[in-house]
Structure 1
Amino acid sequence: MEEVSLYNQVADSWFSHLILNLLCYGTVFVPGYFLIKYFRDSNYKDRAGTGVISRFIVSCVYGHGYDYLPEDAPVIKLPPPERSAASKAGLLVFCFTGLQVSYLTWGVLQEKIMTKAYESEDGAVGHFKDSQFLVFVNRILAFMLAMTYINVVRQPRHTAPLYKYSFCSFSNIMSSWCQYEALKYVSFPTQVLAKASKIIPTMIMGKIVSARKYEYYEYFTALLISLGMTFFLLGSTEDKHDSSTTTSLSGVIILVGYMTFDAFTSNWQGELFTQHRMSSTQMMAGVNMFSCLLTLASILQQGTFHTSLAFMATYPAFFWDCLILSVCSASGQLFIFYTIATFGPVVFIIIMTIRQGLAILLSCFLYSHPVTAAGFLGISLVFVAIGLKIYCGYRLKQIKARKGGSEPNKV
Structure 2
Amino acid sequence: MRIIFQALKYVSFPVQTLAKCAKMIPVMIWGTIIMRKKYGGKDYFFAVIVTLGCSLFILYPASMDVSPFNKGRESTIWGVSLMLGYLGFDGFTSTFQDKLFKGYDMEIHNQIFYTTMCSCVLSLSGLILQNHLIPAVDFMFRHPDCFSDVVILSSVATASQFFISYTIRTFGALTFATIMTTRQLVSILLSCVWFVHPLSWMQWVGAAIVFGALYTRSFLRSKPQKPAVASPPRGSSPNPPNNS
Structure 2 length-normalised TM: 0.87
1:386 to 209, 214, 220: 214
1:212 aligns with 2:37: yes
Going from structure 1 to structure 2, the CA distance change for 1:237 and 1:300 (only over 3 Å counts) comes to farther
The RMSD of aligned alpha carbons is: 2.0
Please report how far the alpha carbon of residue 252 of structure 1 lies from its aligned counterpart in structure 2 after TM superposition. Answer: 1.5
How far, CA to CA, are the matches of 2:39 and 2:17 in structure 1? Answer: 25
Q: Is the 8 A contact 2:94 2:173 kept in 1?
A: yes
Q: What SS does the aligned partner of 2:227 have? A: helix
Please report how far the alpha carbon of residue 268 of structure 1 lies from its aligned counterpart in structure 2 after TM superposition. Answer: 0.8
Q: Is the 8 A contact 2:98 2:173 kept in 1?
A: yes
Matches within 5 A, 1:328-407: 328-395=156-223, 398-399=224-225, 402-403=227-228, 406-407=229-230
Q: Is the 8 A contact 1:236 1:369 kept in 2?
A: no
Partner of 1:299: 127
How far, CA to CA, are the matches of 1:295 and 1:271 in structure 2? Answer: 25
Q: Which amino acid aligns with 1:218?
A: D
Going from structure 1 to structure 2, the CA distance change for 1:185 and 1:303 (only over 3 Å counts) comes to closer
Please report how far the alpha carbon of residue 270 of structure 1 lies from its aligned counterpart in structure 2 after TM superposition. Answer: 0.7
Going from structure 1 to structure 2, the CA distance change for 1:407 and 1:222 (only over 3 Å counts) comes to same
Unaligned runs of 5+ in 2: 233-237
Going from structure 1 to structure 2, the CA distance change for 1:237 and 1:313 (only over 3 Å counts) comes to farther
Q: Is the 8 A contact 2:56 2:203 kept in 1?
A: yes
Q: Which amino acid aligns with 2:215?
A: G
Residues 14-59 of structure 1: per-residue CA shift (max 9 Å, x gap): xxxxxxxxxxxxxxxxxxxxxxxxxxxxxxxxxxxxxxxxxxxxxx
1:243 to 71, 80, 87: 71
Partner of 1:91: none
Going from structure 1 to structure 2, the CA distance change for 1:407 and 1:362 (only over 3 Å counts) comes to same
Going from structure 1 to structure 2, the CA distance change for 1:303 and 1:263 (only over 3 Å counts) comes to same
Residues 135-165 of structure 1: per-residue CA shift (max 9 Å, x gap): xxxxxxxxxxxxxxxxxxxxxxxxxxxxxxx
State percent identity of aligned pairs: 35
Q: What SS does the aligned partner of 1:247 have? A: coil
1:196 aligns with 2:21: yes
1:289 aligns with 2:114: no
Q: Is the 8 A contact 1:217 1:392 kept in 2?
A: no
Please report how far the alpha carbon of residue 200 of structure 1 lies from its aligned counterpart in structure 2 after TM superposition. Answer: 0.8
How far, CA to CA, are the matches of 1:394 and 1:217 in structure 2? Answer: 14
Q: Which amino acid aligns with 1:203?
A: M
Please report how far the alpha carbon of residue 366 of structure 1 lies from its aligned counterpart in structure 2 after TM superposition. Answer: 4.7
How far, CA to CA, are the matches of 1:244 and 1:226 in structure 2? Answer: 22
Q: What SS does the aligned partner of 1:214 have? A: coil
Going from structure 1 to structure 2, the CA distance change for 1:375 and 1:206 (only over 3 Å counts) comes to same
More helix, by proportion: 1
Q: Is the 8 A contact 2:52 2:206 kept in 1?
A: yes
How far, CA to CA, are the matches of 1:231 and 1:315 in structure 2? Answer: 41
Please report how far the alpha carbon of residue 367 of structure 1 lies from its aligned counterpart in structure 2 after TM superposition. Answer: 4.2
Residues 201-246 of structure 1: per-residue CA shift (max 9 Å, x gap): 1101110111111122211111111111111112236302652312
Q: What SS does the aligned partner of 1:231 have? A: helix
Q: What SS does the aligned partner of 1:323 have? A: helix
Tell which has more relative contact order, 1 or 2 (C-alpha 8 A, sep 6+): 2
How far, CA to CA, are the matches of 1:200 and 1:375 in structure 2? Answer: 22
Q: Is the 8 A contact 2:10 2:75 kept in 1?
A: yes
Partner of 2:155: 327
Going from structure 1 to structure 2, the CA distance change for 1:326 and 1:254 (only over 3 Å counts) comes to same
Going from structure 1 to structure 2, the CA distance change for 1:294 and 1:283 (only over 3 Å counts) comes to same
**Length, aligned pairs only:** 231
Residues 225-279 of structure 1: per-residue CA shift (max 9 Å, x gap): 1111111112236302652312221122111101101111111111111110111
Structure 1 length-normalised TM: 0.53
Q: What SS does the aligned partner of 2:37 have? A: coil
Q: What SS does the aligned partner of 1:402 have? A: coil
Please report how far the alpha carbon of residue 185 of structure 1 lies from its aligned counterpart in structure 2 after TM superposition. Answer: 1.5
Going from structure 1 to structure 2, the CA distance change for 1:232 and 1:309 (only over 3 Å counts) comes to same
Please report how far the alpha carbon of residue 281 of structure 1 lies from its aligned counterpart in structure 2 after TM superposition. Answer: 1.4
Q: Is the 8 A contact 1:189 1:237 kept in 2?
A: no
How far, CA to CA, are the matches of 1:214 and 1:357 in structure 2? Answer: 24
Going from structure 1 to structure 2, the CA distance change for 1:292 and 1:408 (only over 3 Å counts) comes to farther
Unaligned runs of 5+ in 1: 1-175
